[in-house]
Structure formats: structure tokens, C-alpha cells
């Protein structure tokens, strides 16, 4: 069986994925990086070191018998824009280029952001029927509103808006850690928020067209922690703030003529409350948007989307940059 290997080494997770030529996952391993209790992330050097140790460990867990790697795809930048760079992606790039050279297979480069979008698109139960759509990338390292057009093996992307300071995932993680939750805090904060009533704490969102800010909400939520507001109410208020912020930005974007097909990806997109609130508000006939969410299993960092982008380039006959 011919397979394409996808590699992603992000700030949060080490990921490997093998897909067959039909795009189906045949083997996959991914593991969160280790962050000490009370910390809100890792320095790039520490994250890079963990990737170097974890990549062979994950590879050894994957069954390769009867499978032939015919191409490798790797995310080497955070975003598909000039100057986008983070050292953590060097770990995956190094492995991809070594394998491509010694096994005489092509290596295809993409970005972490495009991998998220592809993972979202290719895990949908109902595919996006149009070539141009809006994507919202919500994670600990990115919170952007993107005008996307499909192309062979990737996307043309224009960032039309996003955060001016904190990312949505950073807001969740900072509040979660302050509440004593592990990092990354997303699933734990969501569980805590389920204990809150509907008429609890609310913090205002700050939105100017498609641009927004989470530093003010963070300060308000931190004050609430010091004032001993029940943790569940604080957790729910963080979710509400993110949902309300996105609702305002996306409603404005669709009113201004941007596509009404909206794909939401990234770790924060797995949050059930945010999904349900956005679906209720934006698919209402007064707005008329069509919302799509990445499968929760592939909302966070993963190598599946990277592998799918590589597969499309391989099937299209692209040579790759390091093939012989």
C-alpha cells in the first residue's frame, strides 16, 4: 500500500500521520508536549528538544508493514506568509528532508495553518461545496479570520482580521491555569464551565469590524478570580466572550460581502459551547451563514491535514523540493 507521511511539530504537540492514496488515515500518533504544572507554555528551545525526543518514539508506535512511503509532507512555518517562522518546526523539517533524501521520495512543504484548514475540510461530514470560504483559525498561537480559496495542494489565504493581542487559546489557557487547571486548559475549562448557570458572570468583548482584542477580557476575568467569583462562572464567561467576539466579527464580514460559508478550526473550535452558540447565532435566517467545524479529534494540532495536502500535491504530479 502506498502512503503519504505527514509531520507536524507545533508549540503544543508532536504529530505523525500516514494516509493512503484515497486520503484515509492508516496510522497516526500524536502527543502533547509536557508543560510543568502552573506554567502557561514552553520556550521554543524546550519544545524543540521535546520534539526531537518524541518523533522517533511516535514513529516506533506506527505500523509500517505492507506500506510504502511514496511522499512526505511537513509543516515548516506557522502561517503561509513571508517571514513566518518558529524554531519548533525545524524538528519536523529535519526529519522530512532526511527521509526524502535517503528514500528518494518527494517532500512537500506546507504551513501549520494550512494543515489546520485541511484537517477541518477533510473531516467534514458534509463537504464545503464552494472553492472560496472564510476560515477562522482559533488556537493558542493564532486567532485569525481568513479569506480562503482552494487550490491544488493547499489554499490561497488572505488574513482579513483577527486578534490584536492575546489569542483565543491564550485567553483560555491563562484563565484556566489561574484557576488551577492543567495546561493546555481547554478541555478542563470546558468541563468546569458546564457547572455554571446561564445568568452568571459576563465580560464585554472588544471588536472593531473583523479585528478584536482579548487583553481586556483577560484582565476582567483575572479580577473576577481575585474577587472569588465561582470558578465555573469564570470559565463560562471566558467561553461566552470568545463566542460573542467571533459572532460580531463574522457577522460584519458576511454583511460586507465575504463568503457565508465559514470553516472554524484550531483547538478552541472543539469547545461545544462556542460551537453551539455560533451555530445558533450565525445560521439564523437573519444572517444566513453556513458553519462548518473541524472534527473535534482533529481540531487541535495534528498531522492529518498536512498529510492530505501532501497527498494532493503528489497525486497532481508535483515534483517536490527534495526529490531526486
Residue 199 has pLDDT above 90, yes or no: no
| Residues 235, 87 share a domain | no
| Residues 284, 228 share a domain | yes
Residue whose C-alpha cell is 482552494: 150
- The CATH number for 32's domain is 3.30.420.40
Residue 197 lies in a domain: yes
Check: CB of residue 46 under 8 Å from CB of residue 284: no
Q: What is the pLDDT of residues 260-279, one digit of tens each?
A: 999 999 999 999 999 999 99
In angstroms, rounded to a whole number, what is the distance separating the alpha carbons of residues 92 and 322? 15
Residue 155 lies in a domain: yes
| Residues 68, 95 share a domain | yes
Is 3 strand, coil or helix? Answer: strand
In angstroms, rounded to a whole number, what is the distance separating the alpha carbons of residues 78 and 288? 32
Cα angle value 274/280/281 (rounded, 5°): 90
| Residues 11, 96 share a domain | yes
Residue 67 has pLDDT above 60, yes or no: yes
| Residues 146, 112 share a domain | no
Q: What is the pLDDT of residues 283-320, one digit of tens each?
A: 999 999 999 999 999 999 999 999 999 999 999 999 88
The mean pLDDT of 2-9, rounded to a whole number, is 98
Residue 43 has pLDDT above 70, yes or no: yes
Residue 225 lies in a domain: yes
Residue 320 lies in a domain: no
Residue 9 lies in a domain: yes
Residue range(s) defining the domain that contains residue 223: 128-293
Q: What is the pLDDT of residue 38?
A: 86
The mean pLDDT of 172-196, rounded to a whole number, is 96
Structural domains counted in the chain: 2
Q: Given pLDDT bands bounded at 50, 70 and 90, which one contains residue 39?
A: confident
Residue 123 lies in a domain: no
Helix, strand, coil: what percent of the chain each, to 5? 40, 25, 35
- Which stretch of 100-109, 206-215, 313-322 has the lowest confidence by average pLDDT? 313-322
Residue 103 lies in a domain: yes
In angstroms, rounded to a whole number, what is the distance separating the alpha carbons of residues 159 and 247? 17
Residue 246 has pLDDT above 90, yes or no: yes
Q: What is the pLDDT of residue 324?
A: 54
Residue 322 lies in a domain: no
pTM: 0.95
Q: What is the pLDDT of residue 244?
A: 97
Please state, for a pLDDT cut of 90, what percent of the chain lies above it. 92
| Residues 252, 207 share a domain | yes
| Residues 94, 157 share a domain | no
Q: What is the pLDDT of residue 322?
A: 64
Q: What is the pLDDT of residue 323?
A: 52
Q: What is the pLDDT of residues 110-155, one digit of tens each?
A: 999 999 999 999 999 989 999 999 999 999 999 999 999 999 888 9
Check: CB of residue 157 under 8 Å from CB of residue 80: yes
In angstroms, rounded to a whole number, what is the distance separating the alpha carbons of residues 101 and 98? 5
| Residues 157, 242 share a domain | yes
| Residues 270, 193 share a domain | yes
According to DSSP, residue 268 is labeled G
| Residues 196, 270 share a domain | yes
| Residues 236, 173 share a domain | yes
Residue whose C-alpha cell is 479569506: 147
| Residues 136, 101 share a domain | no
Residue-averaged pLDDT of the chain = 95
Backbone angles phi, psi at 253, to 5 degrees: -60, -45
The mean pLDDT of 78-90, rounded to a whole number, is 95
Amino acid at each position: 500500500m502506498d502512503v503519504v507521511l505527514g509531520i507536524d511539530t507545533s508549540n503544543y504537540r508532536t504529530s505523525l500521520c500516514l494516509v493512503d492514496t484515497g486520503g484515509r488515515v492508516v496510522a497516526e500518533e500524536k502527543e502533547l508536549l509536557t508543560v510543568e504544572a502552573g506554567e502557561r507554555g514552553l520556550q521554543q528551545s524546550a519544545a524543540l528538544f521535546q520534539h526531537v525526543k518524541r518523533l522517533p518514539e511516535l514513529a516506533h508506535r506506527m505500523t509500517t508493514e505492507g506500506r510504502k512511503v511514496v511522499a512526505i509532507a511537513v509543516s515548516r512555518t506557522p502561517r503561509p506568509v513571508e517571514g513566518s517562522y518558529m524554531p519548533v518546526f525545524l524538528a519536523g523539517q529535519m526529519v522530512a528532508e532526511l527521509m526524502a533524501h535517503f528514500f528518494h521520495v518527494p517532500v512537500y512543504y506546507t504551513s501549520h495553518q494550512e494543515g489546520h484548514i485541511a484537517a477541518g475540510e477533510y473531516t467534514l461530514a458534509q463537504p464545503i461545496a464552494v472553492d472560496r470560504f472564510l476560515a477562522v483559525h482559533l488556537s493558542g498561537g493564532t486567532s485569525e479570520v481568513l479569506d480562503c480559496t482552494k487550490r491544488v495542494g493547499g489554499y490561497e489565504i488572505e488574513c482579513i482580521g483577527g486578534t490584536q493581542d492575546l489569542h483565543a487559546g491564550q485567553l483560555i489557557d491563562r484563565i484556566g491555569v489561574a484557576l488551577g487547571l492543567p495546561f493546555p486548559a481547554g478541555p478542563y475549562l470546558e468541563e468546569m464551565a458546564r457547572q455554571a448557570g446561564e445568568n452568571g458572570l459576563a465580560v464585554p468583548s472588544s471588536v472593531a469590524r473583523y479585528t478584536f482584542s482579548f487583553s481586556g477580557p483577560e484582565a476582567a476575568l483575572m479580577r473576577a478570580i481575585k474577587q472569588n467569583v465561582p470558578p465555573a462562572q469564570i470559565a463560562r464567561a471566558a467561553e461566552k466572550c470568545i463566542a460573542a467576539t467571533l459572532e460580531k466579527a463574522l457577522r460584519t464580514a458576511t454583511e460586507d460581502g465575504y463568503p457565508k460559508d465559514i470553516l472554524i478550526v484550531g483547538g478552541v473550535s472543539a469547545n461545544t459551547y462556542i460551537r453551539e452558540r455560533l451555530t445558533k447565532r450565525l445560521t439564523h435566517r437573519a444572517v444566513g451563514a453556513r458553519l462548518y467545524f473541524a472534527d473535534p479529534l482533529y481540531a487541535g494540532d495534528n498531522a492529518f491535514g498536512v498529510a492530505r495536502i501532501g497527498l494532493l500535491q503528489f497525486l497532481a504530479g508535483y515534483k517536490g523540493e527534495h526529490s531526486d
